[in-house]
Amino acid sequence: MKPLAFALAMTLGGSALAATTAFDVSELDSSIKACTDFNGFVNARWVAANPIPADRTRWGSFDALREDSLNVQRRIVEQAAREAGTAKPGSIEQKIGYLYASGMDVAAIERAGFDPVKPQLARIDALKTRADVVAYIRDSYARGEPVLFRFSGNADFKDSNRQIAYAGQGGLGLPTVDYYAKPDFAKIRTAYVAHIAKLLELTGVGAADAQQQAKAVLAFETRLAAVSLPPVEMRNPQNRYHYVSIAEADRVTPDFDWPAFFKAQGADVKDGFSLSQPKFFAEVQKMLGDMPLAQWQAYLRYHAIASAAPHLSTPFQQEDFAFNAQTLNGQKEMKPRWKRVLDATNDGMGMALGQLYVADNFSPTSKQRAEELVANLSAAFRTRIEQLEWMSDETKQKALQKWATFVPKIGYPDKWRDWSGLALTPTNYFGNVQAADKFNYDYAIAKIGKPVDRSEWGMTPQTVNAYYSAQKNEIVFPAAILQPPFFDAKADDAINYGGIGAVIGHEMGHGYDDQGSKFDAHGNNANWWTDADRTAFEARTAKLGAQFDGYEALPGKHVNGQLTMGENIGDLGGLNAAYTALQMALAKNPAKAQRKIDGYTQDQRFFLNWARVWRGNIRPEAQLTLLNTDPHAPAKFRAIGAPSNMPEFARAFQCKTVDAMVRDGAKQVRIW
C-alpha cells in the first residue's frame, strides 16, 4: 500500500494566533460562498497571497510544513558536518556529518566530473553476449543499483508473518506506460530522447551516436511499456502477487538464471517468490533473445548515467533537473544545493537522521495527546461500522475483527536501526551515496526468508506524512505531521478533529478501501466479505469514482476516479469518523459544544480546518504528471469531495440542496 501523500505544513503554530484561536478567519474569502465553493471560501485568499516558490512545483500548507521540517533537519546535519571530525568514531552523528559534508564539497564534485561512473560505463562497453548482460544486471542489483525491474522483500500476501522476495515490472524512464504510446505525450517523448542524448554527450559520446542511442533507448522502453500494467491495474492486489517456484520462474526467463541472481543478492529464497507480473518478464526473455546487444548497451548506459547524474558535476545535475523537474513538472529553478544534499542524506540515512530529529523536536506530551486522539477516532470508527445499514452482520463481525487488530504507531519507532556496518568518508560524495545504497539494499534483502518485523517503520519521523500498511494492519503517524494545522495542543477540539483527527480516520479508512478491504485482520490477501456485501460496497465506491471523474483539474483533463479511489474512500470515511469523534468529545462538555470562536461554531471550524489542510497551488505540468501517476486527487478536490457528501456540512453552513457543495439523494456517497 502506498502511504498517504500528505504534504502538509509544520509550524503555523508558535504564533500569537496559534495560542488563541488556531485559525485566522481573516483569511476566509467572503466573496465566495461556502456552499458554492468551500475550497475557494477557505483558501482562495491565502493561495493568491502565497505564490509557488521557483524551486518548487506546488505550494500549500502541506509544503510549508515540509519546508519547516527541512529547516530543522538542515540545522541538525550542518551541526553534524561541523563536528564530524570530533564526533565519536562510527556514530550516526559522524556518518551523517560525513555524508552531508561530502555532498556540500562542490569543488571536489566538480573536479571528479563523471569519473565516478566511468567504471560502470566501461563494463557496459565490454558486454559481448546476452549472458554478459544478465551478469551486469545481477551485479548492479548486488551493488544496490537496480535496473530493468523492481526487486525487494515484503510480507507474503498469503502469509503476512513471513517475508518473501518480489520481482516486478519496472525499467521505465517516463512516469507511466501511457507516456510511451498516447499522442498527448508526443512532445514529452521528443524531449526525453533529447535528454537521453544530452546525458550521453556529457560522457563523451558523439552527437550523432548519442541521438541514435537515445532513440534506441526509447524503443527499448516502449517495448517494456507495452507489457507493463498501468497504475489503475496495479491497484489490484492480484496484479501485484504471483507466487512461483524458482523452477517455474526459470521457465519464464530461461536466460536469466534466478538461482544465480538470488545468490548474488544474498537473498534467502528457497521454495519460491512472487514473479509479480509474469507477462513483463516473458517479454524481457524475448528481448534478451532478439534485441541487438548495442540496444541493450544503450539502455544500460543511459540508466547508469541518469541514476548517477544528481551526484555528479554541475552539467549532469542541470540536465537531470531540466528534464525531470522542469519539463515533466514545470519547476522553474533547481533546489538550492543544501536541499538536494539533504534529500540524499534522507535517502541514505533517513532513519538515523530521524533519531536525531526527535531528540529535540517531539515531546512526550505530543505523543500522549496523539495517542488519545487515535483512541477516540478508533472508538468513533467502530461505532460507524456497527451502525452501517448496508452491511450484513456476518461481514460486520469480520470488519470489527480487523478494527480490533489495528496497530497505531505514533511519532517514532520504539527501537532504532543499527548503522554500524555502514562505512563513509568525509570527502567522497558519490562513494558515500553508493555505500549507503548498498548498505540499505543489503539490509532490506537480508529480511527475505525471515519473520516479518512488525515493529519496523516504513517512514522516517521527520516526514510530513502518514500511512497505512494492509499487511501489518497498522496506522503510522510520524512526529513531523503532529503539528499545526493538523494538530495543535492549544487549539479547540474542532480544529484538531478536522485536522489530525481526519488524518487518523483516513488511515483507518484505508483498511476498508478498495485495496485494504481485500486484506483480513491478519494482513493476508483474503476475502472476508459476503458476495452481497461486496456488491453493495462496490456500488457505493463506483458512485465515488464517478464523482471524482467529474472534477476537471486542467482544461480537458479530469481526475481519474479509479486511480484515486483508495484515497477518496479514506477521505470520506476519515472525515465522517472524525466528525463522529468530535461529537462524542463535545457531548462530554455541552458548554464547549455551544461556544463560537470568531463567530464560527465547532462544526464549522471542523470543516474549515479540513479545507485548510488542502490549501495550495500547483504548476500545470506537475498537475498533469500527477493526474497520470498519483493515487491522490488534486488537493482542491479533496477539500470539497468528502464534505459535499456529508449532510452535517450542509447543516453547519446552512446550504440548500441546489448548492454545489451539496450532494444529496442518489448523488450522495456514504460508505463508512
Query: Hey, what amino acid is at 211?
Result: Q
Residue 217 above 50 pLDDT? yes
Q: 47 near 615, Cβ under 8 Å?
A: yes
The Cα–Cα gap between 442 and 241 comes to: 23
> Nearest 5°: phi and psi at 617?
-135, 155
The 10 Å Cβ neighbour count of residue 105 is: 18
The pTM is what?
A: 0.93
Residue found under cell 498533469: 624
Q: For 336, which DSSP code? A: P
Model confidence pLDDT, tens digit, residues 111-163: 999 999 999 999 999 999 999 999 999 999 999 999 999 999 999 999 999 99
Residue 149 corresponds to which cell in the numbers above? Answer: 525491474
> Nearest 5°: phi and psi at 164?
-125, 170
- Residues 6+ away with beta carbon under 8 Å from 111: none
The beta-strand segments (E) located in 97-249 are: 150-156, 159-168, 243-244
Model confidence pLDDT, tens digit, residues 220-263: 999 999 999 999 999 999 999 999 999 999 999 999 999 999 99
Q: 287 near 223, Cβ under 8 Å?
A: yes
Strand partners, 469: 474
How large a percentage of the chain has pLDDT more than 90?
92
State how far Cα 573 lies from the chain centre.
20
Residue 16 above 50 pLDDT? no
SS3 letters for 364-404?
Answer: HHHHHHHHHHHHHHHHHHHHHHHCCCCCCHHHHHHHHHHHH
Residue 417 corresponds to which cell in the numbers above? Answer: 536501526
Query: Where does the pLDDT of residue 21 fall: very low under 50, low under 70, confident under 90, or very high at 90 and above?
Result: low
The Cα–Cα gap between 380 and 501 comes to: 11
Strands 273-275 and 557-558: unpaired
Query: Where does the pLDDT of residue 19 fall: very low under 50, low under 70, confident under 90, or very high at 90 and above?
Result: very low
Alpha-carbon dihedral angle through residues 329, 335, 338, 340, given to the nearest 10 degrees: 20
Model confidence pLDDT, tens digit, residues 169-190: 999 999 999 999 999 999 999 9
Q: Which alpha helices (H) appear in 560-634, and where do they start and end?
A: 565-587, 590-594, 602-613, 620-629
Strands 407-411 and 616-618: unpaired
Q: Can you give the pLDDT at residue 185?
A: 97
Q: Can you give the pLDDT at residue 229?
A: 98
Domains in the chain, CATH or no CATH each? 145-311 (1.10.1380.10), 363-405+485-667 (3.40.390.10)
Q: Which of 345-349, 365-369, 582-586 has the lowest mean pLDDT?
A: 365-369
Residue 339 above 50 pLDDT? yes
More confident residue, 488 or 626: 626
Q: DSSP characters for 513-575?
A: STTGGGB-TTS-B---S-HHHHHHHHHHHHHHHHHHHT-EEETTEE--TTTTHHHHHHHHHHH
Mean pLDDT of the chain: 94
Model confidence pLDDT, tens digit, residues 608-650: 999 999 999 999 999 999 999 999 999 999 999 999 999 999 9
From residue 531, alpha-carbon distances to 343, 398, 399 in Å are 47, 14, 15
Q: Which of 361-365, 481-485, 517-521 has the lowest mean pLDDT?
A: 361-365
Angle between helix 61-83 and 602-613 (nearest 10): 60
**N-terminal to C-terminal alpha carbon distance within the chain:** 19
Q: 24 near 494, Cβ under 8 Å?
A: no
Residue 6 above 90 pLDDT? no
Q: Can you give the pLDDT at residue 367?
A: 86
User: What is the average pLDDT across 562-586?
Assistant: 97
Closest listed residue to residue 349, CA positions, set 360, 357, 361:
357
SS3 letters for 240-264?
Answer: CCCEECHHHHHHHCCCCCHHHHHHH
Model confidence pLDDT, tens digit, residues 431-487: 999 999 999 999 999 999 999 999 999 999 999 999 999 999 999 999 999 988 999
The 10 Å Cβ neighbour count of residue 366 is: 17
Q: Can you give the pLDDT at residue 7?
A: 30
Angle between helix 130-142 and 258-265 (nearest 10): 30
Residue 282 corresponds to which cell in the numbers above? Answer: 516473458
Residue 14 above 60 pLDDT? no
User: What is the average pLDDT across 204-231?
Assistant: 98
Residue 319 above 80 pLDDT? yes
Model confidence pLDDT, tens digit, residues 393-413: 999 999 999 999 999 999 999
Query: Hey, what amino acid is at 417?
Result: R
